[in-house]
Amino acid sequence: MDRFAGQVAIVTGAGGGLGRAHALALAERGVKIIVNDLGDGSTSVVAEIAALGGEAVASDADITDVAAVQAMVDDAVERWGRVDIVINNAGILRDKTFAKMELADFRKVIDVHLMGSVHCTQAVWPHMVAQGYGRILMTTSASGIYGNFGQANYGAAKSALVGLTNVLAIEGERRGIRVNALAPTAATQMTDGLIPEEAAAKLGPETIAPGAVFLVSPDAPNGVILGAGAGVFAVSRMLEARPVFLPEDERTAETIAARWDEIADMSDPHPLGSAFDQTNLYVELSGRANADTLS
């Protein structure tokens, strides 16, 4: 974990909260930081990093603006010659029940969380491909993985980031690019008033930053979702139950209902590496079942 020296990172939403904690933790390891935030916090975080003996530059680029993001990345490359790490952390909340939610608020949350991450990642991707190395961290949420009342927009965006992580982890692997997702449970300005005070005291951003640092390190895994909060860390995975083949004459909704306990049995689950792994498995099981029937 001492091989960060000389690396360059862009951390979005780094003017406070989780982003600030991530930026400071990386700076302590010698990483040069673009501290991105729309507010004034980025300047103070740059000063904090300078006080640590690190090097950082503030950026007020709006991550929903493609041109502004490209200019931010170009500045990093011109200044330091490379970008090794991107932590897509910036986010907003516009919570309401789905029935009462304005479409403008739905789109805004998608634009910031999902498209902002897409813009930043796409802008650095060619540089990472050219240098044969890159670490990208998406910030997902339990709201996207498991759901949460009143957060249809936020949950949809965060779940989409899991899908983006899964695909880019596959596409980037042979290029030396590893892509992971962090699912933090933190007490920050964005969650102020939403978490009880006693719990919030245990959920400081600094309890989560070590997970972010590991996921963008040279030793990082690939395609992982890491839950983090209060010093607790746990990997989340999408798993599938053991597949159940239905012969053609039994493929009815009634048969599925009758065998639902078997189809939904997660006592022996298995992971899948890609969508085609699932397709190939289903075709293989279907062929095997038909062969057994004919034999």
Same domain for 279 and 200:
no
Where does a domain end: 209, 236, 263? 236
The answer to whether position 88 is within a domain reads yes
pLDDT at 40: 85
Q: For 96, which DSSP code?
A: B
Tokens of 224: 């992982």
Same domain for 272 and 127:
no
**DSSP H or E stretch at residue 33:** strand 32-36
Same domain for 204 and 285:
no
Q: Both ends of the chain: CA-CA distance in Å?
A: 57
Residues 6+ apart with CB under 8 A from 22: 11, 14, 87, 89, 205, 209, 212, 213
- The torsion of the CA quartet 159, 161, 162, 166, rounded to 10 degrees, works out to 150
133 is catalytic: no
Same domain for 231 and 121:
yes
C-alpha distances out from residue 26 to 104, 156, 211, 219, 267, Å: 35, 29, 11, 14, 40
pLDDT tens, per residue, the chain with 295 residues = 568 989 999 999 999 999 999 999 999 999 999 999 998 899 999 999 999 999 999 999 999 999 999 999 999 999 999 999 999 999 999 999 999 999 999 999 999 999 999 999 999 999 999 999 999 999 999 999 999 999 999 999 999 999 999 999 999 999 999 999 999 986 655 566 666 666 657 778 999 999 999 999 999 999 999 999 989 899 999 999 999 999 999 999 999 999 999 999 999 999 999 998 999 989 898 888 766 654 4
Tokens of 161: 């980031």
Same domain for 173 and 31:
yes
Amino acid at position 46, single letter: V
List the catalytic residue out of 133, 146, 154, 282.
Answer: 154
pLDDT at 294: 46
Nearest to 100 by CA among 160, 158, 149, 161: 149
Same domain for 211 and 76:
yes
Strand spans (E) along 43-133? 56-59, 85-88
The answer to whether position 197 is within a domain reads yes
What values do phi and psi take at 101, rounded to 5?
-75, 130
pLDDT at 194: 63
pLDDT at 189: 58
pLDDT at 202: 75
CB 22 within 8 A of CB 11: yes
The answer to whether position 78 is within a domain reads yes
Where does a domain end: 210, 236, 262? 236
Tokens 């997702």: give the residue. 181
Domain that includes residue 199, residue range: 8-236
The answer to whether position 1 is within a domain reads no
Same domain for 59 and 197:
yes
pLDDT at 237: 94
Q: Would you say the C-alpha torsion 30, 171, 209, 91 has a positive or negative sign?
A: positive
Same domain for 129 and 226:
yes
The answer to whether position 242 is within a domain reads no
Strand spans (E) along the chain? 8-11, 32-36, 56-59, 85-88, 134-139, 177-184, 225-229, 232-236
**DSSP H or E stretch at residue 162:** helix 152-173
The answer to whether position 243 is within a domain reads no
Any idea what the CATH number is for the domain that residue 174 is in? 3.40.50.720
Where does a domain end: 191, 216, 236? 236
